[in-house]
Amino acid sequence: MGITKTQIFTERQNDLAQFFKVLGHPARVAILQYISNQNACICNDLVEEIGLAQATISQHLKELKSIGLLNGEIEGKSMNYCINVERWTAIQNELNLFFNTTKSNCC
Amino acid sequence: MGITKTQIFTERQNDLAQFFKVLGHPARVAILQYISNQNACICNDLVEEIGLAQATISQHLKELKSIGLLNGEIEGKSMNYCINVERWTAIQNELNLFFNTTKSNCC
DNA sequence: ACTTATTATCGTAATATTGCAATATATAAA
DNA sequence: TTTATATATTGCAATATTACGATAATAAGT
């Protein structure tokens, strides 16, 4: 037990859950907000800004990258992470589709 | 370690993350979709429909209730869970606000 | 080549989540 | 009141996540 039974759900259900899950941590929400405000970022800034260890920030960035939300560009000896706006919008649309088609009133 | 450092984030960041997190499991996505299609549901249906044990379904329903997404009405000896459309829409709006204000292009 | 600065990865401890059997609770029907 | 049915709760095992120190990898400047 303890393992999510991915195989009993549809691919779409798993995908939707995955998007939600990646966004479901306050550090990742904060990272996205910060990057958006700065219009760029280097990971080192984030460590100071967010207040988590560098290794932890790096791990969160990796998860955001895993669903394509962030693009990382090497800029000299630092990394420039930025939001992949196309992907961002695509995921927003997916989630809205879910919200709009899963809304029924019975009682 | 291992504990999320809630106190270093804003209330809004924690709330947003909590909404995302609750939706971040395929069983809960599937439950919402099923309830929406049926316009009602009793938990027993869900056990057969989703394919998880009754105790597990009950736990997932509890989490969905925890952010106000589901209303449960006792109907005879069974429960009638339905989507709280007002809350549903409110959360959708919150998430869209986040998506719309956290979208910047730099590279 | 050496040093410095930045980010990634590894290993590990603490905590959280998932899932289920067993049990408790509650209501309806007999 | 007993029995059957439906849902909730408890306890526990397996797995996942979070966080961080230590260390590796990479690139720039000296």
Contact B92 A99 (CB under 8 A): yes
Instruction: Tell me which residue in A8, A104, A107 faces B71 most closely, judged by beta carbons.
Output: A107
Is A9 in contact with B27 (CB distance < 8 Å)? yes
User: Per-residue pLDDT tens for A60-79?
Assistant: 999 999 999 999 888 888 89
Q: What are B55-88's pLDDT values in tens digits?
A: 999 999 999 999 999 998 888 888 999 999 999 9
What domains can be seen in chain B, in order of their start residue? 20-98 (1.10.10.10)
CB contact (8 A) between residue B33 and residue A13: yes
* Range with the poorest average pLDDT among B4-8, B16-20, B47-51, B101-105: B101-105
d(CA B31, CA B34): 5
Give the A window 33-92 contacts with B, CB below 8 Å.
33, 35-37, 39-40, 50-52, 71, 73, 80, 82-83, 85, 88-89, 92
User: Pseudo-torsion of CA A74, A76, A78, A84, nearest 10°?
Assistant: -30
